[in-house]
Amino acid sequence: MLVGEVPGFWPPLPRHIPLDLPSQAEAEEGSYGALGTDDPVPFLNMAGRMDTGSMAIVLPVDDDLPGRIEAIQRFWQVLKTRPVPRDTRMTPYQRQRFRQMMQAADGRASGASYREIGIALYGEQRVLSEPWKTSPLRAAVIALARNASALIVGGYRGLLHHRRKP
């Protein structure tokens, strides 16, 4: 989501909504950040810091419009300190699997063996309860690490889209 200043030809909004970020990263094109704690809403502030003025959202009209509108709704909920609806692009199972994939990727990047990652993900007792070389947990850890690598090299973009019927 791209956030900027309301153009001067629009009437001013009734009241300013402050954009207080717990953390943000500065880049050439603006500030990146995420609002919210349980299910944060990511955005890019193209206008730099908005300590004054009113916000506007630049919204491309394309095949991703329904998802963008949903993200804007969650963004608005955060700004108004209202409960934020869960992002529907991922099911709870997909979120859990994604978290495990990232943990597996972090473990591999840190030099951990598949067995060490398995212990971190599933617990020592469960991993040691059967021979590791033939364990389904070993296959699961390897698949998590492999799938995480695919996401890291660009496959993550698929997570940003709603699945649509052809």
- The 3 state secondary structure assigned to 15-32 is CCCCCCCCCEEEECCEEE
Residue 126: phi, psi to the nearest 5?
A: -70, -40
DSSP string for residues in 117-133: HHHHHH-HHHHHTS-GG
- With beta carbons less than 8 A apart as the criterion, state whether 51 and 8 touch: no
Q: Which residues pair with 27 in a beta bridge?
A: 30
Among residues 140, 106, 110, the alpha carbon closest in space to that of 122 is found at 140
pLDDT of residue 105: 94
Which of helix, strand or coil describes residue 61?
coil
pTM of structure? 0.58
Which of helix, strand or coil describes residue 103?
helix
Which helix (H) or strand (E) segment is 60 a member of?
A: none
- pLDDT tens for the chain, 166 residues: list them: 556 666 666 666 555 555 555 666 777 766 666 666 666 666 656 555 454 456 677 777 888 788 888 888 888 887 778 888 777 778 889 889 999 999 999 999 999 999 999 999 999 999 999 999 999 999 999 999 999 998 888 877 777 666 655 5
Residues 6+ apart with CB under 8 A from 114: 138, 141, 142, 145
